[in-house]
Amino acid sequence: MVADPDTPLRADARRNRDQIIAAAKQVFLDQGPDVPMEVIARRAGVGVGTLYRRFPDRESLILAVSRRNFEEVVTEARAAAAEEPTAWAAIVRLLQRSRGLKLSVQLAVLSPLARAILRDDETTQEFRAEIMLILDELVRGAQAEGSMRRDVGAGDVAVLCSLLLMDLPLEDLSDLVLDRALAVMIDGLRATSQSPLPGRPITGEDLRIR
Amino acid sequence: MVADPDTPLRADARRNRDQIIAAAKQVFLDQGPDVPMEVIARRAGVGVGTLYRRFPDRESLILAVSRRNFEEVVTEARAAAAEEPTAWAAIVRLLQRSRGLKLSVQLAVLSPLARAILRDDETTQEFRAEIMLILDELVRGAQAEGSMRRDVGAGDVAVLCSLLLMDLPLEDLSDLVLDRALAVMIDGLRATSQSPLPGRPITGEDLRIR
Amino acid sequence: MVADPDTPLRADARRNRDQIIAAAKQVFLDQGPDVPMEVIARRAGVGVGTLYRRFPDRESLILAVSRRNFEEVVTEARAAAAEEPTAWAAIVRLLQRSRGLKLSVQLAVLSPLARAILRDDETTQEFRAEIMLILDELVRGAQAEGSMRRDVGAGDVAVLCSLLLMDLPLEDLSDLVLDRALAVMIDGLRATSQSPLPGRPITGEDLRIR
Amino acid sequence: MVADPDTPLRADARRNRDQIIAAAKQVFLDQGPDVPMEVIARRAGVGVGTLYRRFPDRESLILAVSRRNFEEVVTEARAAAAEEPTAWAAIVRLLQRSRGLKLSVQLAVLSPLARAILRDDETTQEFRAEIMLILDELVRGAQAEGSMRRDVGAGDVAVLCSLLLMDLPLEDLSDLVLDRALAVMIDGLRATSQSPLPGRPITGEDLRIR
DNA sequence: TATGAATGAGTCTTCATTCAT
DNA sequence: AATGAATGAAGACTCATTCAT
């Protein structure tokens, strides 16, 4: 018998659930989205049975991990928008922090399965929309401030963000290397940049997972 | 039992071998490096047995696909260096064309297995070294020309290249979106860019697969 | 993922494990060590998955079957030594009973794979050493009693024993035929035998699996 | 198109056939009756295609190897009967030489497939009958000479012979060990042996492969 | 409720046999 | 006629998911 989804879980059950999501996140990052369920269960310190009680199949686990991750992106974006003195600073901060959000993007990018799941999940789409909304506002702000070139849209920034999430197999150097790539991108985004970009600004809507 | 690698293949066998590599490339791009061998065989129009006769295991198939791909990168890099009037133009062309070279990078990036295989393959390492050599010369040239900022190395450019190879799930828009990201990066690489990059220039050696 | 070998198995799991070993013994005797794992699993009344959970590969199953069998040989040898009035009688009994121990020997003799496995297994080597120890004592005893010829060693007796384990394709007659061969051997082992044996007595050590 | 079986093969074809049989014999001895056909073909220095032209399937190859081997046994038995001064000496010689005839017996003993093939092959049965005929005469002769115990039959001797063909995994020692086991058996077969054998003498007919 | 045992479908890989060169 | 390439059926093994304890 499965609990009514609306009934809040008992405290220990919730803790259990959280452990599993955290473990799955770790393991997905380490070994990709194809790890055996048993490995995830072990990492969470539970049996497979328990895992399956919480998440009836792999799909729903991926979904849970991903939603949580998106939630964090939203939080981060809100904080950046609220706390930074200028929109440009908020964008730079978002680009810098995005590496911590790696997982969701990786899941969407690497695993056709995960992609399909996320595409069809309304909650995820709402998170995405929310993020793009914030970003859009920031981009306009930064352009108004005169710090950001006018031929980019929120979508362009989101794409650069996503690119930085690629998992380069460089071990120690990975952070430095990506920091530098980011710095190049930021310079390229500045209002002083010269060559016009091809096409038209990319919007958040353009990036809806398909 | 596989034929002595030094004996030239019979005409039909060679044709088959090429078809298999081409099919594998397609299928790896479409579905990642974990596709059933059967799928690859079918796509190549042969039975699994034939596939296994040519490539005794998945590993050696990945290797073959990857080597061929690296070879193409080397060719492309040489051509860019030889044909473009300036080093800067050659680099821009390389960055623009890199998308066609997606597969090797994806394999190295996405699949721990593939990564390990490539890491241990001498031929691949030689291709890599060759590419980095050309790129290094181009970067120095572009810096001497005054078109490229002086605080980047060949490794930095290679990283930007790799980032552009990410397989964004955008379908039609994918090309435009990446063209724009590339344009941002190119602007960021120009000699006129302002903020100094963190750390030190990344060299080709820094990027050896580990 | 297999349970920690030190954790005692759940009751049902242990029962299952025993069934599998018993089934494997039967099937190995009937059809040799190359039978499909599926056949063994079916005979044990379980699915292949269960078989593989208990024995991660064919090797470890062979090992388990073989160890259990050796254990029985040791037990039998001890009982013979303890219960028979004379050492000669104990040896005769061992030779007579050895047919029941057929499997271990057959595995070692018939299958290069099995042979290699047993050779490298310490537990098996200990069983073997124990058996040879008992046999050595019996042989000396029987020689002291004046019933056994003095130019044979424990190894010689063990070899005769092994020879009797050959699986002659005779069906009904098999037992009689081997009983008679055994009786011939026993007569040949008596102290009254005439022609000296070639070489030197074979020891247990001489027969270590190589 | 396959040659009429009655037409004698052309000289090179015959040589070919002989090479294959010789190679198969070697490989069967080394690796058992389950070796890949390709391995046999390679050892014979031909392609699989050629092998299959001569022997339409594994069955007929096993048969050919086995027949040739039986032929040699017959020859050897005839020679022993003709050349030795006494029947007892001929039997001893046969027992001593039997190790060279190992293969046929091993095939019959080790491989259920081979067993079935030989059982159904008339030629093989004729060879067997011929051998048993010679042996029977020798046994009667040796008993008449007073050298062999009277309670054994040709079948008993054949069984002892077969037992000696077991392939003990002892490497260097193997010959000595079996020579000694044989000597014990010979002593057990002498007219002076004491304890009566169980049952009745085993005849050649008793040993027909079933 | 938590656990981990059992199941079997799915994939990899080998090899007997057939067929094109 | 000889060769070795191609094929697919068969067996090994893994792992998602279900179920007994």
- Spacing of C13 CA from F20 C1' in Å: 11
Mean pLDDT of the residues in chain C:
88
Residue nearest to nucleotide E12 (CA to C1'): B37
Question: Average of pLDDT values for C99-128?
Answer: 78
Q: Following DSSP, what letter does each residue of D36-79 receive, concatenated?
A: -HHHHHHHHTS-HHHHHHHSSSHHHHHHHHHHHHHHHHHHHHHH
Q: In terms of DSSP H, where are the helices of chain C?
A: 11-31, 37-44, 48-54, 58-83, 87-97, 102-110, 112-119, 122-145, 154-163, 174-189
Which single residue is written with the structure tokens 């401030």?
A: A145
- B134-141: average pLDDT: 95
Tell me which chain D residues have a C-beta less than 8 angstroms from the C-beta of C155. 177
Q: What is the mean pLDDT of residues D100-107?
A: 70
Q: Helix H segments across A7-86?
A: 11-31, 37-44, 48-54, 58-83
Chain B's closest residue to D48, CA to CA, is B1
pLDDT at site A101: 74
Name the more confident of D15 and B160: B160
Query: What is the predicted pLDDT for the residue at B3?
Result: 47
State the number of CA atoms in the 13 A half-sphere of B28 facing the CB. Answer: 28
The dotted CATH code for C58-207 is 1.10.357.10
What are φ and ψ of residue D195, in 5° steps? -80, 135
Would the pLDDT of B136 be above 80?
Answer: yes
pLDDT at D167 over 70: yes
Token pair 């194809």 is at which residue?
Answer: A34
Q: B77 near B98, Cβ under 8 Å? A: no
Phi, psi of B190 (to 5 degrees): -60, 155
Check residue D137 and give its pLDDT: 96
Q: Which residues of D touch B (CB under 8 A)?
A: 36, 38-39, 42
Residue C108 banded pLDDT, cuts 50, 70, 90: low
What pLDDT shows up at residue D119?
Answer: 84
Share of residues in chain B with pLDDT > 90 (%): 53
The reply to whether A49 Cβ lies less than 7 angstroms from strand F is yes
Chain C residues with beta carbon closer than 8 angstroms to that of D169? 108-109, 115, 209-210
Q: How far apart are CA D54 and CA D48, in angstroms?
A: 10
User: Which of residues B40 and B168 earns the better pLDDT score?
Assistant: B40
Q: What is the pLDDT of residue D3?
A: 46
Lowest mean pLDDT among A26-35, B9-18, D84-93: B9-18
Q: What percent of chain B shows pLDDT beyond 70?
A: 89
The CATH H-level (homologous superfamily) assignment of domain C1-56 is: Homeodomain-like (1.10.10.60)
CB burial readout C80-109, b (16+ within 10 A) else e: bbeebeebbbbbbbbbbebbebbbbbbbbb
Write down the CATH number for the domain with range D57-207.
1.10.357.10
Chain A touches chain B, with at least 3 Cβ pairs below 8 Å, answer yes
- C38: the nucleotide nearest its CA (via C1') is F11
Report chain C residues whose CB lies below 8 A from the CB of A36.
1
Check whether B201 has a pLDDT greater than 80: yes
Question: How many angstroms is C1' of F11 away from CA of C52?
Answer: 14
SS3 D192: coil
Per-residue pLDDT band for A1 (boundaries 50, 70, 90) equals very low
Q: Is the CB of B37 under 7 A from strand F?
A: no
In chain D, the percentage of residues whose pLDDT exceeds 70 is 90
Domain residue extents for chain B:
1-56, 66-207
Query: Is residue C39 pLDDT above 80, yes or no?
Result: yes
CA distance D16 to chain C (A): 30
**CA-CA-CA-CA torsion sign (A84, A89, A95, A97):** negative
Query: CA–C1' distance B108–E18 (Å)?
Result: 40
**Is the confidence at residue B4, as pLDDT, over 60?**
no
Cβ neighbours of residue C171 under 8 Å, at least 6 residues apart?
D210
Q: Examine the pLDDT at D196 and tell me if it is beyond 80.
A: yes
Residue D1: band (very low, low, confident or very high) from pLDDT cuts 50, 70, 90: very low
Under 8 Å CB-to-CB from A181, ≥6 apart: which residues? Answer: A164, B156, B159, B160, B163
Chains that touch B (3 or more CB pairs under 8 A): A, D
Nucleotide nearest to B7 (CA to C1'): F4
Q: CA C117, CA B23: separation in Å to the nearest integer?
A: 41
- Our CA angle for B36, B38, B40, nearest 5°, is 80
> Are C101 and C73 spatial neighbours (Cβ–Cβ below 8 Å)?
yes
How is domain B66-207 classified at the CATH fold level? Answer: Tetracycline Repressor; domain 2 (1.10.357)
Task: For residue D59, give how far its alpha carbon lies from the nearest alpha carbon of chain C (Å).
Answer: 18
Residue % of chain C over a pLDDT of 70 = 90
Cα D20 from Cα D3, distance rounded (Å): 18
Rounded CA separation B16/B22 (Å): 10
Q: Is it the case that residue B194 has pLDDT exceeding 90?
A: no
Chain B residues close to D36, C-beta within 8 Å: 1
The CA angle D159-D163-D168, to the nearest 5 degrees, is 170
Nearest CA in chain A to B111: A32
Q: Which of D88, D166, D178, D194 to probe the C interface (max C CBs under 10 A)?
A: D166
Chain Cα centroid distance, residue A185? 19
The pLDDT, as a whole number, for residue A3 is: 46
Tens digits of per-residue pLDDT, B33-56?
A: 889 999 999 999 999 999 999 999
Interface of B with D (CB under 8 A): 1
Higher pLDDT, B209 or A116: A116
Residue of B nearest to A207 (CA): B170
Cross-chain residue pair C109–D169, CB shorter than 8 Å: yes
Residues 6+ apart with CB under 8 A from B116: none
Are A165 and A119 in contact by the 8 Å Cβ rule? The answer is no
pLDDT level of residue D194 (50, 70, 90 thresholds): confident
Element holding B27 (H helix, E strand): helix B11-31
* Distance (Å) of CA A71 to CA A76, A131, A162, C154, D105: 9, 9, 16, 76, 75
Residue C172: the pLDDT is 82
- pLDDT: which is higher, B155 or A210: B155
User: pLDDT of C2-27, one tens digit each?
Assistant: 445 556 666 777 888 999 999 999 99
By mean pLDDT, which of A14-28, B74-88, B94-108, D42-56 is the weakest? B94-108
- Per CATH, the homologous superfamily of domain D10-56 is Homeodomain-like (1.10.10.60)
Q: Can you tell me the distance from the alpha carbon of C42 to that of C62, in angstroms, rounded to the nearest whole number?
A: 17
Three-state DSSP class for residue B190:
strand
Distance F17 C1' – B121 CA (angstroms):
39
Please give the Cα distance from C160 to D178 (Å, whole number).
9
User: Which of B167, B173, B189 has the CB atom closest to A109's CB atom?
Assistant: B167
- Per-residue pLDDT band for A130 (boundaries 50, 70, 90) equals very high
Q: Which residues of A touch C3 (CB under 8 A)?
A: none
* Cα(D65)–Cα(D28) distance, integer angstroms: 9
Indicate whether C178 pLDDT > 70. Answer: yes
How much is the pLDDT for D17? 92
A59-207 CATH: 1.10.357.10
D77 pLDDT more than 80: yes
